[in-house]
Structures are given as C-alpha cells and as structure tokens.
Amino acid sequence: MPSPRIRLSALLLALALPFNASLAAGETPVPKRLAIRAAQLIDGTGAAPLRDAVVLVEGERITAVGSGLPIPAGTELIDLGGATLTPGLIDCHTHISGESGDYYQKLVRESAIDAAVRAHVYAGRTLMAGFTSIRNLGAEDFIDIALKKAIDDGSVAGPRIDAAGHGIGATGGHADLTGTSPYLHIDGFSGVADGVEAVRLKVREQVKYGAGVIKMVATAGVLSEEDSVGAPQYTQEEMNALVDEAHRWDRKVAAHAHGTEGIKMAIKAGVDSIEHGSFIDDEGIRLMKQHGTWLVADIYNDDYILAEFGRLNYPQKILDKERLVGRTQRENFRKAAKAGVKIAYGTDAGVYPHGWNGKQMAKMVEWGLTPMQAIVSATGSAAELLGWQKTVGRIAPGLYADLIAVSGDPLRDVSEFEHIAFVMKGGVVYKQGGQVLPRAP
C-alpha cells in the first residue's frame, strides 16, 4: 500500500497537470501591445521634444520610441492628438497618509487608524494628478509601507512608493509631539531617538519593517511647536552615525533641514538630499555642489499655509514661523538653481491637498528654472535621486510604461501639469481624455 507521502505527491502531481497542460496549450494571457501617439514627446532627459511621437508598449514596459514609428499589426492605438506626452511625474517629498485639517481635531480626535483608512484615497488622487511615483518621507505607524505593499500587489490603485516609515528625530524636536501637556500620552510607533547608538537602532527598525529610504530630521521645522524654525536638533556625531547606518543598509537619506547650520551639518554627514533648505547660505550651496547633494525644496506650499492654516486653527507660533520661511526659501531656491545645485521635485503634499502636486511646477519656473528644467526635476532627475533611473523617469525602451499627457505645450505654459489628460502606469491606462477610468484593483 502506498505510503501517505507517496499518495500526497501523486495528488499534487494530478492537480498540477491541468495547469501545466493549459500553459502548453497557450492559454496564458499574452502581454497586451499598445501604441500611444501624440504630437509631442518630452522624454525626461532634457533633450529637445520629439514631434509626431509614437511609443510602443508591451505589457508593463516600453519597447520602442520614435517619430512616426510604424505601428505593428494587432497593436491597439491610443491617439492623443495634439497632446504632449511625458514620463509619469515623480514627487520626492510627500506625506501620503494624511492631509491638513483642523489642528486640534487631528491631534486628539483622530488616530493612525483614521489616517490609514483614508490613505488609499490620497494615493488615487496623486496618481490621477500624473504622479506615478512618489517618495514618502514620514507616516504614522508604517502606513506608507502598508500602502506601498497594497499598491504593489494590485489591491489599490496608486503611485509607486519609496517609503520611509517614520522620520527619525530628537526628543522635543520636529519628529516629536511638542507643545502639549506632559500628561497627554498618545500611543503608537515613534521615530524619536537620541544618541549615536539609538539613532543606529532606529534606522535598523525602519529597514526591518520595510523602509526603502531613511528620513533624518536634522533641524527644527515649521509645522510643529518647538520654538526654533531651523536650529540643529542632532549633533554632528548623531547625524554621521545615522547616515553611516542607513548607507550600510543601502538606504538613501533625506534630511529635513531648514536652518543654515543644520543644512551644512547634514551635507557633511553625507545625506543624499536636503529637504526644504530654507535658510541655505553660499557656503551651504558650495557644499551641496561639492558633495553632489540634491535639493528638494517645497516652494509652493507657503501660499496654501498662509491662506488656510489660520482657518484650520493652527497655533499662531506656527503661522509666524511660516512667515519667516516662505519668501526666504524661494529666494534661496533661486540662488541654488543659478549655482547649479542638483534639484529634484518635491512638494510636501499632505500639507496641502493630495492631487495638487503639479501646482509647484509653475512656482519652480517663477523662481528660476526653465520649463524644461522643471519637467526634468520631476522626471529624470527625481528618478536619479531615488536610484530608480533604470525603471522610471524617462520614456525609453525597457523602462516601465509610466506615461502621462497634457493637452497643450508645457514648454510654453508649465501650468499644463495642473490639468492631466492621460495617465498610464505600468502599461495600464487610468485616465484618458481627462476622465478617470473605472479600474478595479
């Protein structure tokens, strides 16, 4: 009599046979072949636009790009007419798990669970705004990592996410809950760590739970209640240790840094990008160029904060700090751009509504970039900062078919990116003719 193990093996073989037979019969779906045609194509490298452009797509990848390219028989054609086609945009600084609202409601009446059940809505809005990839720099209780997993496995529609987990910062600083009674205790995971060994451990914790990038809170900030807007909040030794540990685990480091001294400390520690960079000086600009450090400056959201945050009951201290930062940050952005600092697109989305990410394009042009430079900052340059340049950020064979289109010419009016007409991510069309298509996860 056959042993139980032999009987089980025979059963598994019998169950597998029909499946294998179906593969042999050619029943596995063939990758869909598409051709996208548009009047103009901007490829994300800064090269001159391609006219009468055709992009061939098979499955989730681009197979060919050219002007007047022949369309193979059996290929479905998407004709975008007079539109301009670009790579899917990349926002290198978002907070996808939340959105600004009434300050005290958010503080004491909502929890990370409230944020988690809304995050997929924000992800959908971001994708429909033409941002097919984001770098998320801080979320409660690893929400951004859970959202990334749900998007990657097809359960939720949204952008590709490079998730940081928690921002790592000092007790009493911008990454901590400040300005409240010591008797108010809010449970949950935390990015707070003090001392060289503790910051190393906190980096390892983020990596353990799935972080693809590490955020260091190097200085004070605006939307928190510590007194300073930009004072360093870690010692040089703590910053050095955090960056060393992150790079040991092959993770890039984004440094939240507003203040002059803290910016330069973070650059010297070896961070990959400076976020905000509000009070950078000439020496800081020189150091950024010397070290190849990227600048990710959120130069749109000052408008929204000053217009809306009083109504949202934010403390006067926060509003006063924003008034110190706004124009100075924009002026220093212009100086950095003129000096040739590497710039990647990042908006701090979540401070203002998700889906408004494209509004920053016009501000970047107003404060020193050409329209083409602004577009490259959100495509090829952003992909390089993330280390994703082999998969996204350009329209080229072998890369993911992450493509968007606007109706007009963004080189004439970069605000076209506030009105996205077409969105494709990984060969799947989510928006066409300005209309969101019903796509079941």
Tens digits of per-residue pLDDT, 236-250? 999 999 999 999 999
Confidence of residue 185 (pLDDT cuts 50, 70, 90): confident
Judge contact between 238 and 195, C-beta under 8 A: yes
Distance CA 290, CA 297 (A): 19
Judge contact between 399 and 61, C-beta under 8 A: yes
DSSP for residue 75: P
Judge contact between 169 and 217, C-beta under 8 A: yes
Helix (H), strand (E) at residue 76: strand 76-79
Q: Tell me the pTM.
A: 0.92
- What distances in angstroms separate CA 93 from CA 78, 241, 386, 436, one per listed residue? 32, 23, 11, 25
- What distances in angstroms separate CA 231 from CA 61, 151, 180, one per listed residue? 46, 37, 20
Nearest to 325 by CA among 276, 363, 261: 276
Share of the chain above pLDDT 90, in %: 83
In terms of pLDDT, which residue wins out, 31 or 157? 157
CB atoms within 10 A of CB 325: 19
Work out the burial of residue 411: count CB atoms within 10 Å of its CB; fewer than 13 is exposed, 13-18 middle, 19 or more buried. Answer: middle
Predicted pLDDT of residue 438: 78
Confidence of residue 4 (pLDDT cuts 50, 70, 90): very low
Domains located in the chain, CATH noted = 33-87+394-436 (2.30.40.10), 89-386 (3.20.20.140)
Predicted pLDDT of residue 248: 98
> Is the pLDDT score of 6 beyond 90?
no
Confidence of residue 27 (pLDDT cuts 50, 70, 90): low
Confidence of residue 371 (pLDDT cuts 50, 70, 90): very high
Confidence of residue 2 (pLDDT cuts 50, 70, 90): very low
> Is the pLDDT score of 19 beyond 60?
no
DSSP bridge partners of 35: 56, 77
Give Cα 410 to chain centroid, integer Å.
21
Distance CA 372, CA 412 (A): 10
Q: Mean pLDDT over residues 178-194, rounded?
A: 85
> Is the pLDDT score of 179 beyond 80?
no
Q: Which of 67-76, 78-87, 186-195 has the lowest mean pLDDT?
A: 186-195
SS3 content of the chain, % helix, strand, coil (to 5): 35, 20, 40
Count of all residues that appear for the chain in the document: 441
Judge contact between 217 and 166, C-beta under 8 A: no
Predicted pLDDT of residue 369: 98
Rg of the Cα trace of the chain?
23
206-227 residue pLDDT tens: 999 999 999 999 999 998 888 8
407-416 residue pLDDT tens: 999 999 999 9
